[in-house]
Structure 1
Amino acid sequence: MKNSILNYKTWLIIISLFSIQSIILTTPINAKKIPNGISILLDGDFPDPTIVKDGDNYYMTTSFGGFPCLMIWQSNDLLHWKRLDYALKTPVAGAVWAPELIKHNDTFYLYFPAGGHIYVMTATNPTGPWSKPQIIEGVSGIDPGHLVDKNGNRYLYIDNGRVVQLSSDGLSISGKEIKVYDGWKFSNNYGVECFCLESPKMLYRNGYYYIISAQGGTGGPATSHMASVARSKSPFGPFEDSPYNPLIKTFSPFETWRSKGHATIFEGPKEQWYAIYHGYENGHLPMGRKTLLEPVVWTQDGWIKSGIKNTKKAKNYFFTENTRPKNDDFSSGTLNKQWTFTNADTYNNYKLQNRCLTIMCKSGNINGLMLPMCDKNFEVQFKIIPDQNIETGLVLYYDKNYYAGMILKNGIINGIHKNRQPFGDKIPIPDTSYFKLTILNYNVYISYSKDGETWTSYPDAFDVSGYHTNILENFGSLKIAVIGDGNGKIQIDDFKYRTL
């Protein structure tokens, strides 16, 4: 046991030193100039980024599960981002994926797919309030992309190269859906998951309509995903594929980033253009798809290509502070915007009172509080007080069937992992309400305490390196979560977080 403890502490020191070195090498904490490399803007699972500029500010949102969702982020330099508020606070049927955030005239629009439908919301200010989501009848698919042509007509493009004309207010369709693009026919040696023509992001410039598409599939092999470019003189085609394709792609499984794709092209400060997209960090699939930024340039013949000479050897600049969890004692009276909930559909599922957060649980559901995992090595702790007969836990949560950590019921602690299987010893711990997870290279260690100062290690640990979409599917990721199952409530307090 002494050797195990020594090794554990030694690893903490080694990991801490390595993390410090990585930050010094790759993170320009006070950077004011956008690096000529790949900037990791949102570290953690923030896929399908969409961005719009308004005045001197940029606004962005991404896909992310939970309730509420579609967080609006704001930045004035493209590097440092802050959360404003969630746009979607009303539940819809199905998961929300791949939104499109745009501004037309004086109104902001959010288009997003869920449950086979395309929804739309509007606001006069990106901070909200946003209108309730409404279904655009007569169109279905995923990955909507908005376009206004040179005559002011509005269109919505969706997966598989389809387009439908919108009404002038952008809230309904005014024509029939037609197919206008078959996708770029890439080489057979690209090593993709599928052809999968998705995410049509539109741009009108100098007489051409550009369609930037995601192709190759989002998961599977490291080389699967990409962004391709085509253009036409008409919104309805025919589209000519770029001779510089692909715009963005992972060519080798040994590159830093896997499955790069789903790009939006936009103009940034000082007339410099950028691509914002997502990708998995190699070796870190459980963390999900991160939001990445890299420069692009326009060629003399009017095409877009990467602004990085050798993307395989591009330097990486992590801005992890944008998403790193902040300590929270839940005493402010307003819930910190870093939190979302699982299996909640209204704000009645929780309340802030008596300097703590109370979550109402229902038997048969996994109700909980969560936030994305954005560091590889860290410690997280909570004070958790459940009602009698409520099963609660502090876990790394993938989905309702797969999570790993500790569970507590009627004063007895137990490990849990894989398909909600109990793991390790059942230990009575009366009057204990502080719990901690230590994560080291996807190894999970559990501790508990009566006072939050003196900790006892749970004897069993486990590995969660296989908790990712290529094994468990559904494009999930690991999230820090406090969960509860049963009829009653759990009280949550004293959230503390530190990197290792």
Structure 2
Amino acid sequence: METFKNPILPGFYPDPSICRVGDDYYLVTSTFEYFPGVPIFHSKDLVHWNQLGHVLDRSSQLNLDETPCSCGIYAPTLRYHEGIFYMITTFVVTRTGERKNFYVTATDPEGPWSDPYWLQSAPGIDPSLFFDDDGKCYYTGNRVPAGGEQYPKQREIWLQELDLDKQELVGEKIVLWDGAVKQAIAPEGPHIYKVEGKYYLLIAEGGTSFTHSVTISRSKSIKGPYEPSMTNPILTHRHLGKGYPISNVGHGDIVQTQYGEWWMVCLGSRPYGGDFRNLGRETFLVPFTWEDGWPVINPGKGMIELEMPKPKLKERKWSLSPACDHFDKEKLSHIWNFVRTPRGDYWSLKERPGFLRLKLKPETIMEPSNASFIGRRQQHKNFVVRTLMEFTPLEEWESAGVILLQSSQYQLRLECRLQNNNKVVQLIRRSDGREETLQEHPLNVSKIFIKIEAVGQQYSFYYGEKSEEWNTFIENVDGSILSTDIAGGFVGTYIGMYASSNGQTSDHYVDFDWFEYVGDPYEQ
């Protein structure tokens, strides 16, 4: 029996949403404060995915200025109807402040996608769209009950018709469900489907950590009343204990293949080195069947496994992206992201062909700003990163290097700077906003080779003045501060290139010749 390995999208790819168009499958995930927003993937077999680009790739679509860490774009839903793709999502302004819901459209999933249609009087988060047989479109999301919270994180799922011609919600708001468990925590991520004449409402509840789960209810009418399944939660791993390799599964979306099989995509995490999730929440795939009108996830087991039988679809692999980016293209690869919407002309692939140039900005990565940073996700527990950097600081406030970034308050920075008019390379650990220099070494060259090796939670740092002639800088640094379990929030670790003039004005820059990321292909 042929099998595939979970997760299908390793690293920080949470809140997956999927749709099928003929023989093609498309999937999107959350991006929070990172830009471009909402990566979109294409697959033919549900296992191998090729990134087409990003849905929100223009500043006119996504203004993340001063967006706090783990705010921004939450839980997109992707749907297709009569030749048009719809992506609807929430922009979370602050963790406790305003939520703004909007959707964009495209006739081609590669784009261009429209500018946002902002929806008024749409409280809560995690919007989804459902197109009924009569042509009507319905919006569903979660919200605080009209009478206010009676207990912490009390929410209810609500429904309203969406007039696509006017781009506005119309008619009355109808409360559908408040979760399967009495006093359910954070019912969210709702999706409606119609299967054999019945409406099914799939949601997440139990919070996004260890007790996360997927529950379901059904009704003869889209407006309810909805009957919960007696087998709820239909998917959770909270009963498996913290030793199971996949944790906090939830936030599912389902799809039926052209051959009749049913599959669910959902988020989950792979803790390692203890109960630490440096990789963030990842995208997993699991089959299910229907029994007595209800889904049965992975029959006989009821859980997601690291290796599972493949879908009965013709395998379609895509060309692998090169491990090393030589920055010799006209555009950045889709793997690269900025933190918040890029403002100013601070990076270039053209000023020095074959190099990525980052100009020093006053903004730093230690504040909710658009710092001079370009990074990619950590996707493996064990990996090696290497790069060649050219930088000669001219002032003591100038710095540049490589960063392992969890948030503005939790990070590891290997950077070059001046100290007492001498060039040094330093490893700085920032934890809960407090900084500590773990190691420092004098440096007398403008070109520096940098290598980071991670084996589980042990991160080791090396440098060299010549290719493959490595000097040990510091080994076995505890990387658990890069996990959401310590740092909080909802994102995974990023690895990237960084430069700053730390509050001062500077015309200086740093050049990166190439950047290589190699993950362990055999790990699970």
Q: What is the TM-score with the length of structure 1 in the denominator?
A: 0.85
CA distance in 2, matches of 1:461, 1:408: 21
- 1:268 aligns with 257
- Partner deviation per Cα, 1:335-359 (whole Å, 9 max, x = no partner): 1111111244358442212111122
Give the drift of 1:178.
Answer: 3.1
CA distance in 2, matches of 1:371, 1:317: 28
Give the drift of 1:436.
Answer: 1.2
CA distance in 2, matches of 1:294, 1:78: 10
CA distance in 2, matches of 1:497, 1:302: 46
SS in 2 for 1:73: strand
- Partner deviation per Cα, 1:440-461 (whole Å, 9 max, x = no partner): 1121111111222211111465
- 2:83 aligns with 106
Within-5 A mapping of 1:302-321: 302-311=293-302, 314-316=305-307
Contact 2:88/2:101 (<8 A) preserved: yes
- 1:369 aligns with 374
Within-5 A mapping of 1:297-376: 297-299=289-291, 301-311=292-302, 314-316=305-307, 326-346=323-343, 348-353=345-350, 354-366=353-365, 367-376=372-381
> CA RMSD, aligned part only?
2.5
Give the drift of 1:494.
Answer: 1.5
Contact 2:289/2:299 (<8 A) preserved: no
- Partner deviation per Cα, 1:250-293 (whole Å, 9 max, x = no partner): 12223221111000011024210011101011325111111000
The 3 A distance-change label for structure 1 pair 313 and 171 is closer
Give the drift of 1:312.
Answer: 5.1
CA distance in 1, matches of 2:318, 2:212: 27
Contact 1:308/1:314 (<8 A) preserved: no
Return structure 1 stretches of 4+ with deviation > 3 angstroms. Answer: 311-315, 317-325, 346-349, 386-389
- 1:92 aligns with 63
Within-5 A mapping of 1:324-473: 326-346=323-343, 348-353=345-350, 354-366=353-365, 367-386=372-391, 388-389=394-395, 390-410=398-418, 411-417=423-429, 418=431, 419=433, 421-431=435-445, 432-459=447-474, 461-473=476-488
Structure 2: give runs of 5+ residues left out of the alignment. 94-98, 143-155, 311-316, 366-371
Contact 1:414/1:422 (<8 A) preserved: no
The 3 A distance-change label for structure 1 pair 445 and 322 is farther
- 1:81 aligns with 49
The 3 A distance-change label for structure 1 pair 292 and 425 is closer
CA distance in 2, matches of 1:463, 1:324: 30
Give the drift of 1:34.
Answer: 6.0
1:209 aligns to 2:199 (yes or no): yes
- 1:13 aligns with none
CA distance in 2, matches of 1:240, 1:347: 53
- 2:213 aligns with 226
Give the drift of 1:243.
Answer: 2.0
Task: Answer with 81-90 or 167-176: which moved more.
Answer: 167-176
CA distance in 2, matches of 1:437, 1:139: 45
Give the drift of 1:146.
Answer: 0.9
Contact 1:34/1:78 (<8 A) preserved: no
The 3 A distance-change label for structure 1 pair 295 and 448 is same
CA distance in 1, matches of 2:114, 2:475: 48
Q: Answer 1 or 2: which has greater helix percent.
A: 1
The 3 A distance-change label for structure 1 pair 318 and 478 is farther
SS in 1 for 2:74: coil
CA distance in 1, matches of 2:468, 2:55: 39
CA distance in 1, matches of 2:109, 2:401: 36
The 3 A distance-change label for structure 1 pair 206 and 134 is same
SS in 2 for 1:96: strand
CA distance in 2, matches of 1:420, 1:448: 25
Q: What amino acid does structure 2 have at the position aligned with 1:181?
A: W
CA distance in 2, matches of 1:285, 1:133: 33
CA distance in 2, matches of 1:460, 1:34: 37
Give the drift of 1:361.
Answer: 3.6
Give the drift of 1:226.
Answer: 0.4
Give the drift of 1:422.
Answer: 3.2
- Partner deviation per Cα, 1:17-40 (whole Å, 9 max, x = no partner): xxxxxxxxxxxxxx9x565xx732
- 1:7 aligns with none
1:240 aligns to 2:227 (yes or no): yes
CA distance in 2, matches of 1:318, 1:305: 16
Contact 2:176/2:224 (<8 A) preserved: yes
Identity %: 26
CA distance in 2, matches of 1:170, 1:433: 57
Contact 1:213/1:228 (<8 A) preserved: yes
Q: What amino acid does structure 1 have at the position aligned with 2:438?
A: G
Give the drift of 1:369.
Answer: 1.2
Within-5 A mapping of 1:3-18: none
- Partner deviation per Cα, 1:299-329 (whole Å, 9 max, x = no partner): 1x32112133113584525999999872110
The 3 A distance-change label for structure 1 pair 255 and 321 is farther
- Partner deviation per Cα, 1:94-144 (whole Å, 9 max, x = no partner): 411100111111111110101210021110110101112232122132111
Contact 2:281/2:491 (<8 A) preserved: no
Structure 1: give runs of 5+ residues left out of the alignment. 1-30, 189-193
CA distance in 2, matches of 1:60, 1:343: 22
- 1:8 aligns with none
CA distance in 2, matches of 1:321, 1:495: 22
SS in 2 for 1:470: helix
Give the drift of 1:490.
Answer: 2.6
CA distance in 2, matches of 1:85, 1:278: 20
- Partner deviation per Cα, 1:342-393 (whole Å, 9 max, x = no partner): 2443584422121111223421332211111111111101122345343122
SS in 1 for 2:171: coil
